[in-house]
Structure 1
Amino acid sequence: MDKVTMTETIIASKLEKGLTWEAIAEKVGASPVWLTSACLGMNSASPEQAAAICDCLGLGSEVSTALQKFPTKIWEQTVPTDPLVYRFYEIMGVYGDTLKEVIQEKFGDGIMSAIDFNMEVDKEENPKGDRVVVTMSGKFLKYSAW
């Protein structure tokens, strides 16, 4: 089973069972962001994590095996058209260079890891309209000279 078929199978089972990513993550003992990313094919799961996901969703060993495969992290390089995804693209377009400047001013010449990385998504109730809170935490990786 490839990652695309795996994702379609997982989403179909999730919808059929009326589960949320948050509920699945809680049952599996994982971060909702990481779990969703693994189920969408962008991360690999350990055998134990894959088994727990499949147990929760009532899926077979072929899905478990696909969850454990290392992903090829390729995505379309065109401007996204989904409004929510586009906003993150827009944020990086407007603030990407600013974030780079501020991070490198504080840490030096390097990057924020997307491997040694955590991300949380929270809801903040606000009288002016609920707020989306996205927290990203990645290890700083200094460029080396040789």
Structure 2
Amino acid sequence: MSINATQTTTPILPKDQAAALINSARIRQEMTWASIADRLGTAPVWTTAALLGQHPMSAEQADAVSALLGLGSEVAESLRLQPSRGTDPALMADPTIYRLTEAVSVYGPALKALIHEEFGDGIMSAINFHVDIQRRPDPDGDRVVITLDGKFLDYCW
């Protein structure tokens, strides 16, 4: 593949801008995040996070998403980049994100104590990690079930 001057002097599309293009195309084509994940053969939560800029995708995955949504190679190029992980501080005011933060704030110390009691001195990895979300019907209103599945990493001194 030969690279021309435009390809070397044009900035790579920032991940947040790629995410906005992906989300717009997804909405306009009436696709769900889960349907995109299904087409890629990847987990819905991981796929959604990747498409929103929190994980890098392989070249094959990035190309497949761009083709699926009718987006250009600049979006695929952005999807392959390593992200700066985390949440924009302005997003922390979103009620769903705020409530998740609140839940960890309230239950985090108890979960930490229980992890230490069950496993010993260490942490749950957020790098070697799986997350899932399910809907559970309930007579008082459907429930959101979030599963956090992280590898235990013991502290080695």
Unaligned 5+ runs, structure 2:
1-12
Q: Distance in 2 between matches of 1:18 and 1:126?
A: 28
CA contact (8 A) 1:50 1:65 kept: yes
TM-score relative to the length of structure 2 = 0.87
Which residue does the alignment assign to 1:82? 94
Opposite residue 24 of structure 1, the aligned amino acid is I
Which residue does the alignment assign to 1:53? 65
Percent pairwise identity: 43
Secondary structure of the structure 2 residue equivalent to 1:80 = helix
Secondary structure of the structure 2 residue equivalent to 1:45 = coil
Deviations 1:86-108 (A, max 9, x none): 11111011111001000111111
Q: Distance in 1 between matches of 2:91 and 2:114?
A: 25
Q: CA deviation at 1:109?
A: 1.1
Q: CA deviation at 1:51?
A: 1.4
Which structure is larger by alpha-carbon Rg, 1 or 2? Answer: 2
Structure 1 residues 108, 42: closer, same or farther in 2, change over 3 A? same
Q: Distance in 2 between matches of 1:82 and 1:4?
A: 17
Q: CA RMSD in A?
A: 1.4
Please point out which of 3, 19, 28 is paired with 2:31: 19
TM-score relative to the length of structure 1 = 0.94
Opposite residue 144 of structure 1, the aligned amino acid is C
Confirm or deny that 1:43 pairs with 2:55.
yes
Q: Distance in 2 between matches of 1:6 and 1:30?
A: 19
Which residue does the alignment assign to 2:82? 70
Once superposed, which parts of structure 1, at least 4 consecutive aligned residues long, lie more than 2 Å away? 74-80
Deviations 1:73-132 (A, max 9, x none): 143457922111111111011111001000111111111111111111000111111010
CA contact (8 A) 1:28 1:56 kept: no
Secondary structure of the structure 2 residue equivalent to 1:18 = coil
Q: Distance in 2 between matches of 1:90 and 1:112?
A: 19
